[in-house]
Structure 1
Amino acid sequence: MTTSAPPPAPPAPVAHPDYPVHVDADLDPGLSRGLWLVKWLLAIPHYLVLAFLWAAFAVLSVVAFLAILFTGRYPRAIFDFNVGVMRWSWRVSYYSYAVLGTDRYPPFTLADVPDYPAHLDVDYPEHLSRGLVLVKWWLLAIPHYLVVALLAGGVAYGVSGADDEGWITISLIGVLVLVAAVVLLFTGRYPQQVFDLVLGLNRWVLRVAGYVALMTDEYPPFRLDMGGHETHTPTRVPADPPPAPATGPHSRPEGWTAGRIVSVVAGAVLVLAGLGFAGAGGTLALVGATDRDDGFVMSPAIGMDSDAWAITSEDARITTEGAPDWVPDRVLGDVRVTAESGSGDALFLGVARSADVAAWLDGVGRDTFREVRHGEAVLEGTTGGAPASAPDEQTFWVARATGPDATLDWEPEEGSWTFVLMRADASPGVAADVATGAELPVLDAVVAVLLVLAGLTVLAGALLIAVPVRTVARREP
């Protein structure tokens, strides 16, 4: 008698390794049917606070980038702050329209709140790659960016109206939450399967956020871990249990008091404002260095085409009331207007006091330049006949130029002034490419002031950030 061998034991299940970004949540059982309709309003205070916190997050992430690049370590105090911002955002998202999983109002704190139904934590990395930090947040993350665009950014549809165009985006998370909200409204119950899927999608997005925020070198898995909690199947037991993680799910950041958070946020706002001043100053300096034509900063040429006898500007009023008479000269310098005829016909370009121009062109068919829209000149027509004489015969012009390529230079004075563009022989049909500019002697002073403001503002912001970060770092064991 023979006995058959017992069937082989099934292989031990292998767990997915824990990803360093941990996202967990519990679905509240007694959700209100209709509260979700006004949560956008109730969450406004959080949105305002988070706008400033994310500004600080961005600035501190740049500091962390440099620290990782040169030392291979993410400064612990900055790490705790940035994780706290992500945690705060996750709680607000869970309460509002990323999940609608709770009616309990989110707390205003960076720290983890053990009894709140949504939690986020990131394991602190003892060491990070100094080279990987240069590419992981943009190049390596591109595949995940495409996925996240579908999950959270959505599919874009072009729409157009009579005057403008726009886009409507629909995200997968948004559609699923809307379905859950409608079911909740009519049944009083949040579909559990929808909740599990929505949590899995949000978990994917937040893992990518932690990776691109430089908090881990471990590449986010292309895996949808659904459900409110990260499930872990038993693993083959190693010889020695792994060491406890550096941070727990309910740890930190005790050192980040309200005053220190406000200081960091204010510092980040000042740093960003300083960068804005620096960008504006640098842009003006570049314009002054590259866009000057014979000392004048000129605008791009705009095509003007009219069947009338003249094209006029709107009245330009220059006043020095309450200011010294030299203000126009010091601020604007001389003004230059150029007009180039595409057909080679002689043009007339002149400037005179508005009252004199209005009296001469009374009853004359003309177009008035109003604005530039979509790169085109917008002209407003006035019906009438031909002028009684050629423009060059008038004596009221304070500056004039004629020719197929007319260039008019004028020193501004106090008063109301009008520019006139015509054909030199006063015949109808005016077509020219027109550009305007000024010497702008004040430009160099403005650039200097902006750059000084940039330096002082960035310095003040850096101090407001450095002091609390250093204080928190000293409190750490």
Structure 2
Amino acid sequence: MTTYPVRVRARLDPGLNRWLWLVKWFLAIPHYIVLSLLWTAFTVLSVVAFVAILATGRYPRSLFGFNVGVLRWTWRVAYYTFGALGTDRYPPFSLGEEPDYPATLDIAYPEHLSRGLVLVKWLLVVPHLLIVGVFLGGGGYLVTRGGEWAFGLVGLFVLIAGVALLFTGRYPRGVFDFVLGMDRWALRVAAYAGLMTDAYPPFRLDTGGDEPGAATLDPPPPAPASPPARGSAGRIVAAVFGVLLLVAGTGLAATGAVALWAHETQRGADGVLATPAQPLHSDGYALEMGGFDLHRTGTGWFLGEDWLGAVGLRADRDAFVGIGPADDVARYLSTVDRDRVVEIGERVGYEHLTGGAPTSAPTAQPFWVASGVGSLTWDVRPGRWTAVVMNADGTRVVDTDVTATATLPALGPVAWLLVGSGALLLLLGGVLLFTAVFRFDRTRGEPSHA
């Protein structure tokens, strides 16, 4: 029997830990993050390869090597986790062959590919995708999800193997062989769908850890596992920290970019930022919003002494709006029939408090730190405050649109700080990840995969 150009091999490690499989999903999180990025690149490069094959009949070798590396990396992570649970060796952060790892993948480079076939492979592979969907659940990680194994037949049988391992200390060989057959089928389909071969995947479940007829092509990998290469632990740590820095840097930079966009484009003619108008309603005499605590409003030279600036509230022309100390507002409204706003969004949430009419109009109260009919502006200062909206004459049923405004002079400096910090973390994370994934091969004097 001739081996298919996609060669998937694996060996079941003896003495697997009974408990480790329960937390492998957590240990592999750095790999999942990296793989999500790699599969984005895989998709983009596959489009480039499609154009190249259509024009020249060849898959650019450099793109082919990278995409094979993504499949190798994915297969090793899947084999370590719930694609097989076949080893306790932590997968290397590597696009290279890693022949000493218990799970290997090799795809023969095609010197020529059909220009016409590349146009219809997406259609020809549909029957296989339906089968792989049953194996992996919902379409499979290799084709659509970039590193995520869904709970299909593979997940079910691997779970059975994990339970058996937990109680007996042994991985059932029959289960292993069947799982490897399904994994092998999925990887063949992934390679064909990725335009990496013209050989149509066989409708055949080749079970077991080795390819059928593999001895006719090249020798199988050595049975004993080689000890980890010197410095591999350091590369793993560097890769984990690199990924974490990349994630943190992306979050900071994205937050800073959004803040900078708001600072530069979302201010009105008066220089303030405003929320969308929010309709509020109460069948009572008042709408109560608060209290809110402000403990610190000045920070110093970088953000300025008045970094929050001035805030404001806008309502209908006949509505009174006021901000006052929470205790004073509570005493004033203690016997008033009112609604307290507890949630603002697509749906406004209220807490109704029963009572009667206020003893005096809101405009007559001396405790407001800022108030007005239709709008107010307040220079923020520390304390515990409550905002109130009422009819100016103190009558029942309050129905108005409310908009909050703020000058936020510190938004610009904070945005640039976030963007700069995010860029720095991205740079550091990229350097760490690059040095972890790639190393310089001194024996050949050229870069090679770690």
TM-score by length of 2: 0.70
CA contact (8 A) 2:324 2:387 kept: yes
**1:186-241 deviation per Cα after TM superposition (whole angstroms, max 9, x unaligned):** 9x99594x6655433222334456678x794568737342411566479xxxxxxx
Give the 5 Å matches for 1:340-355.
Answer: 340=316, 346-355=318-327
Q: 1:315 aligns with which of 291, 301, 307?
A: 291
Match of 1:460 in 2: 428
Which one of the candidate residues 197, 203, 207 is aligned to 1:227? 207
Secondary structure, aligned partner of 2:395? coil
Distance 2:2 2:313 in 1: 71
Check conservation: 1:79, 1:215, Cα contact below 8 A: no
Deviation larger for 73-82 or 440-449: 73-82
What is the distance in 1 between the residues matched to 2:248 and 2:307?
A: 25
Say if 1:353 and 1:321 are closer, same or farther in 2 by CA, change over 3 A: same
Q: Which moved more, 1:312-321 or 1:217-226?
A: 217-226
- 1:430 corresponds, among 376, 388, 398, to 398
SS at match of 2:409: coil
The answer to whether the 8 A contact 2:5-2:108 is kept is: no
Matched, 1:271 2:246: yes
Letter in 1 for 2:154: I
Counterpart of 1:47? 25
Distance in 2, Cα, partners of 1:265 & 1:391 = 59
Q: Which residue of 1 aligns with 2:411?
A: 443
- Cα deviation code 1:227-265 (max 9, x no counterpart): 11566479xxxxxxx9x67x9756999698333343344
Q: Distance in 2 between matches of 1:281 and 1:149?
A: 40
- SS of residue in 2 equivalent to 1:444: helix
SS across alignment from 2:344: strand
1:205 aligns with 2:209: no
d(CA) in 2 for partners of 1:262, 1:181: 27
1:298 pairs with 254, 274, 281, which one?
274
Assess if the C-alpha contact under 8 Å between 2:321 and 2:371 holds in 1: yes
3-state SS, counterpart of residue 88 of structure 2: coil
- CA RMSD of superposed structures (Å): 5.0
- TM-aligned CA deviation for residue 394 of structure 1: 2.8
Identity over aligned pairs, percent: 28
The CA deviation at 1:275 is 2.5
- Residues 471 and 98 (structure 1 numbering): CA distance in 2 closer, same or farther, change over 3 Å? closer
Are 1:367 and 2:367 an aligned pair?
A: no
Q: Is the 8 A contact 2:191 2:197 kept in 1?
A: no
Aligned counterpart, 1:107: 89
Q: In structure 2, how many angstroms separate the alpha carbons of the residues matched to 1:411 and 1:142?
A: 64
Structure 1 residue 304 displacement after superposition? 2.4
Alignment of 1:410 onto 2:388: no
Q: AA paired with 1:171?
A: G
The DSSP-based 3-state class of the residue aligned with 2:284 is coil
How many equivalent residue pairs? Answer: 412
For the 8 Å contact 2:312–2:375, the answer to whether it is kept is yes
Higher mean C-alpha deviation, range 253-262 or range 286-295: 253-262
Residues 77, 91 of structure 2: 8 Å contact kept: no
1: CA distance, partners of 2:435 / 2:195: 22
Change (3 A) 1:218 1:293: farther
**Once structures 1 and 2 are overlaid, which stretch shifts more, 145-154 or 442-451?**
145-154
Cα distance change of structure 1 residues 452 and 271 upon mapping to structure 2, 3 Å threshold: same
- Equivalent position SS for 1:330: coil
Per-residue deviation at 1:24?
4.1
1:471 aligns with: 440
In 2: Cα distance, 1:297 partner to 1:143 partner = 55
Letter of the 1:122 counterpart: D
CA distance in 2, matches of 1:338, 1:220: 67
SS of 1:293's equivalent in the other structure is: coil
> Is contact 1:27–1:228 with CA below 8 Å preserved after alignment?
no
Task: With the length of structure 1 as denominator, give the TM-score of the two structures.
Answer: 0.67
Residues 310 and 367 of structure 1 are in contact (CA less than 8 Å); yes or no, is this contact kept in structure 2?
yes
Equivalent position amino acid for 1:283 in 2: V
Q: Name the SS of the counterpart of 1:471 in structure 2.
A: strand
SS of structure 2 residue aligned to 1:284: helix
Q: Contact (CA 8 Å) 1:263, 1:464: kept in 2 or not?
A: yes
- Offset, 1:448: 0.9
Q: CA deviation at 1:142?
A: 8.6
2:25 maps to a residue whose letter is Y
Q: Determine if contact 2:2/2:212 at 8 Å carries over to the other structure.
A: yes
Measured in 1, the distance between the counterparts of 2:21 and 2:231 equals: 28
